[in-house]
Structure 1
Amino acid sequence: MRRNPHQATVRPLPSSPAVVPRILALIPAHNEADRIGAALAALQAQTRPPERIVVVADNCTDATADVARQAGAEVVETLKNRHKKAGALNQALDQVLDVLAGHDLVLVQDADTTLVSSFLADAVQAMTGDVGAVGAIFYGEPGGRLLGTLQRLEFQRYAREIARRDYRADVLTGTATVFRAATLRQIRQARLDGLIGGGTSYYSLASLTEDDEITKAVRTLGYRTVSPPGCRVVTEVMTTLPKLWHQRMRWQRGALENLRDYGLTKVTAPYIVRQGLMGLSVLALGLYLVFTVWMLARGRPEFAPFWVAVGLVFVAEKVVTARGAGFKSQLLAGSLAVELAYDMFQHAVYLRSLWDMARRREERWCAT
């Protein structure tokens, strides 16, 4: 998937405030009969509702299609799709994109996600001339006990990080993203021309994380990607460690493979730096734990005032960045020990992903 070094970037379309775009909502769903109703209800309650809602029922063996039709959505059923979400979206886009003008918008939303009522209105407002796509800021739904709380804390901190970056979207999250129809067509043409890899359609069939890959495709074509503060969604949290492990392995391995396939470019350089910094954090935590165990093994733990102060600053940072997740979550963050274990879990995912890539071990998609 390496980019042609001689490629020319596509010039962004000029914005035209007088033109009112139509919005098509696409919801890929595999056996989501128990959740699709809530997703559709939130879409229909938008202050700027979509003109058309299409549920892409992908190899469903439950009542997903029936529930969607009863809720007023159109249903497109995939045909012999073996490429999961990306394949389902490509089949649907082949059927529906031809009727849209270049300035019209396509919302791609997960079936386990609900949008705040202002999401589409804020996305339309953010779609200025050099913006190719608008992604969501996601928060975790209630439930999941301790594991769910830790994921909600993680998502809350990610939202704060997006705000500090002036709402730039480094990943067009699969929970919900709005694209210009013209941008999707340009991505497909760039793949056909060999300027970017991933097949010959809109979404890459070669990536474990199609949302991360399409972000790099959009930005390689010269567009900005943003996540405005009003584009919030609530999405599912993983309720068991095995599910969380499979989800995060897919995210991390997919991110690393996308960087490998795109190579070093102006677009990928910041992502590569962040992966390097993650590696340094893994090393730092490992050294800290080894040093702590060594001190305890000597039987004479020493508490230097300087390092105690550093530790208190670290705890304070954890508590402050948990603000917005609730008082109980802040108390959990202040205890430090539980979140330290969660960090170690994520570091294990990172190290296992690197190890599997080095061994060229294939990562298989697992339903979560």
Structure 2
Amino acid sequence: MWLELLFKFAFFYPITMSFFWISGAVYYYFRRERHEPARTEPPPLAEYPSVSILIPCHNEALNAQETIGAALAQHWPNLEVIAINDGSTDNTAEVLNALAALHPQLRVIHLDRNLGKANALRMGAMSAQSEFLVCIDGDALLDEYATYWLVHHFLEGPRVGAVTGNPRIRNRSTMLGKLQVGEFSSIIGMIKRAQRVYGRIFTVSGVIAAFRRTALHRVGYWSEDMVTEDIDISWRLQMDHWDIRYEPNAIALILMPETLKGLWRQRLRWAKGGVEVITRYAKQLNAWRQRRMWGVFIEYLCSVAWAFTMCFIFILYGLRHLIDVPQSLYVNSLLPGWHGMILAIVCLFQFGVSILIDRRYEAKIGRTYYWMVWYPMAYWVLSMLTTVIAVPKVLLGSRTRAVWVSPDRGFR
């Protein structure tokens, strides 16, 4: 009986969450996006305050010129760009110094050793002259209107502490790259829209997010012992009752892993970051005043439970080939039956809805629909494995400073 319940949970959880995300995203689209002006023709603002763009860099010599060039090309009248060289071992320092000599809007901060992205962002924030900080990765290319779309939320709402943007994949030369194009649209973008509608956002996108410096100062800036500083700062801001918004018009083109090893390392880090945040702040959620965080907390716990449930089912299936298992524990097959077909149909429906919503940001995104048929098979298994490994790693490990590890940036 209990095994049957596990199978039902493994089946109904992704379907339930899929319709939860679809309904939230569709509501968000009709309420907020449908009647917005074109991304390249934003309406004028009452004021254009100073903005600082922070770019933490570690071994970014190959990407620095493109990234800083895009940052300097923003359609914003009062802008400074701060590049923080965090103990790079390549010629990043020389590249940044040469760029600073050419562009008076660019300032460079050199840190003598690798102390991690969180520390680099903190140094940049303390050096900035502006109340509003746009933070991007060292390989991200900001759309020329991204700063406008991020900052206008702060001008509209005094309790807005952060705004997360809309990362889009630059490198698409492999199937993994194409799958991630659809993933960032149908999974990440859709989830952020739905979470924005239903309550709180689990995390800003670390590759493109803007912050109100007053809010950062209240919560103590970024934590240096969390492997995903973006998840942690999102929770601390919201638990301090700052609002986080999602802005799909704030686009940044980013590089993503296109090798299995690089993808594994990235997703394991994401999984560990989620577990770290939950274990650190779970006790504080007991307070009624944190009730708006309960939804994302429960959603995350359900996703962890689903990962362990699927892992257990896989283990039972493997054991039946090695030993005689009781009939109550017998898993006949892992191949999709009728329930698998329903999951696939719902998944493709979700992808289809997300593509319709995202067409205004990427006209040819429909081309990725063919590749998304492989997404559940590849990425659900990856998500399951990284979660199952991350939980004991975090619970049994010790916290240390999270320093830079150069990621896989794919094939270009």
Query: Which TM bucket (shorter chain)?
Result: 0.7 to 0.9
Match of 1:54, SS state, is: strand
In the alignment, structure 1 residue 48 sits paired with structure 2 residue 46: no
Amino acid paired to 2:277: N
- 1:44: Cα distance to partner? 2.4
- Written as runs of structure 1 = structure 2, the 5 A alignment for 1:244-323 is 244-264=263-283, 265=285, 266=290, 268-283=293-308, 285-286=310-311, 307=339, 310-311=342-343, 313-314=345-346, 316-317=348-349, 319-321=351-353, 323=355
- 1:357: Cα distance to partner? 2.4
Match of 1:38 among 61, 66, 82: 66
In the alignment, structure 1 residue 349 sits paired with structure 2 residue 386: yes
Match of 1:340 among 364, 374, 377: 377
Match of 1:65 among 80, 96, 105: 96
CA distance in 2, matches of 1:87, 1:321: 39
Change (3 A) 1:255 1:186: same
Change (3 A) 1:130 1:49: same
* Residues 188-218 of structure 1, C-alpha deviations (whole Å, 9 max, x = no match): 3xxxxxxxxxxxxx22112111111111121
CA distance in 2, matches of 1:184, 1:320: 37
CA distance in 2, matches of 1:23, 1:304: 52
Report the counterpart of residue 156 of structure 1 in structure 2.
185
Q: Which range moved further: 18-27 or 210-219? A: 18-27
- 1:54: Cα distance to partner? 1.2
CA distance in 1, matches of 2:203, 2:274: 10
On the 8 A contact 1:171/1:215 being kept in 2, the answer is yes
Q: Which range moved further: 108-117 or 353-362? A: 353-362
Report the counterpart of residue 331 of structure 1 in structure 2.
370
What percentage of residue pairs aligned between the two structures are identical?
Answer: 18
Match of 1:85 among 90, 94, 117: 117
Q: Which runs of no fewer than 5 residues in structure 2 stay unpaired?
A: 1-44, 322-329, 359-363, 408-412
In the alignment, structure 1 residue 225 sits paired with structure 2 residue 244: yes
Match of 2:247, SS state, is: coil
Change (3 A) 1:312 1:88: closer
Match of 1:211 among 205, 209, 230: 230
CA distance in 1, matches of 2:306, 2:229: 26
CA distance in 2, matches of 1:24, 1:254: 27
- 1:344: Cα distance to partner? 0.5
Amino acid paired to 1:359: L
- 1:361: Cα distance to partner? 6.2
TM-score with structure 2 setting the length? 0.70
Report the counterpart of residue 207 of structure 2 in structure 1.
175
Change (3 A) 1:67 1:109: farther
- 1:55: Cα distance to partner? 1.0
Match of 2:249, SS state, is: coil
TM-score with structure 1 setting the length? 0.78
- 1:75: Cα distance to partner? 3.5
- 1:351: Cα distance to partner? 0.6
On the 8 A contact 1:150/1:342 being kept in 2, the answer is no
Report the counterpart of residue 30 of structure 2 in structure 1.
none
Change (3 A) 1:67 1:281: farther
CA distance in 2, matches of 1:305, 1:348: 22
Matched residue count: 331
Report the counterpart of residue 5 of structure 2 in structure 1.
none
CA distance in 2, matches of 1:74, 1:47: 16
CA distance in 2, matches of 1:178, 1:172: 9
Match of 1:136, SS state, is: strand
Q: Which range moved further: 51-60 or 267-276? A: 267-276
Change (3 A) 1:227 1:67: farther
Match of 2:160 among 126, 131, 149: 131
Amino acid paired to 1:148: G
- 1:226: Cα distance to partner? 0.6
Match of 2:248, SS state, is: coil
Amino acid paired to 2:383: Q
CA distance in 1, matches of 2:202, 2:340: 35
On the 8 A contact 1:133/1:179 being kept in 2, the answer is yes
Match of 2:56, SS state, is: strand
As a proportion of its length, which structure holds more helix?
2
CA distance in 2, matches of 1:36, 1:70: 14
In the alignment, structure 1 residue 110 sits paired with structure 2 residue 137: yes
- 1:164: Cα distance to partner? 3.2
On the 8 A contact 1:33/1:64 being kept in 2, the answer is yes
Q: Which runs of no fewer than 5 residues in structure 1 stay unpaired?
A: 1-16, 189-201
- 1:42: Cα distance to partner? 1.9
- 1:142: Cα distance to partner? 2.5
